[in-house]
Amino acid sequence: MSAVVSMKTERGLTFPEVLIASTLIGPLLISASIILETMHGAYSRGERRADLQQSVRIGMARIVRELRAAGLDPSGLIPGLPIPGPIQSADINRIAFIGDPNGDGSSKKIEYRLDLSASPPVLRRQQWSTWGGGWSGTNGAQPLAEGITAVEFTYFGAGGSAIPPGELAARLGEIRRVGINITALAPPGRILSEPFRLVSEVQLRNRGS
């Protein structure tokens, strides 16, 4: 006894039906793609913004740590320097001081400055390791941290009053506290142009109260 299996062939979509389906589904796919792209862009911007802020915090932490120990002079160089004090130079965008940042027992000159010749400006750190009537032994001015575009140093005397910028050169020996204001901004097109600012103050440990 044989069994006969009956098979029906289902009708496929006609060309007009395909066009109608495409018309209906197309906008949905486009909308989904836009949503996914927007979410990915927002995530990427947030991630890069977090990286930028972390970079600024790391840079600020290094400045604070090294500046707090300004005047640490294991080599005994300060008395014989043209400017016989921990702070060697100071202005709004630059500060240089004597210290031993890596703790190897050798005095060094460290400078932080805003390089306005770069586009965008960048905060740089430079260190000199040898004094012989002039400073030598440097590896050049290195970028401190990515995205830093502005830095402002404010200087305070023993009484707590700010020293006017025009008087700093003559009053380096009076500096007891330094305010630091750093601004970071990502390059155009990478992150929304929203600056990130970080502020700190440093009491110089080796300058008294």
pLDDT in tens, 172-187: 999 999 999 999 887 6
Please give the model's pTM, rounded to 2 decimal places: 0.75
* CA-based nearest residue to 117, from 93, 89, 153: 93
pLDDT digits (tens, 9 = 90+) for 44-67: 556 677 788 888 899 999 999 999
Specify the pLDDT at position 197.
92
pLDDT, tens only, 77-92 = 999 999 999 999 999 9
Q: Higher confidence at residue 90 or residue 15? A: 90
Q: Give the DSSP per-residue string, 101-140.
A: TT-SS--EEEEEEEETTSSS-EEEEEEEEEESSSEEEE--
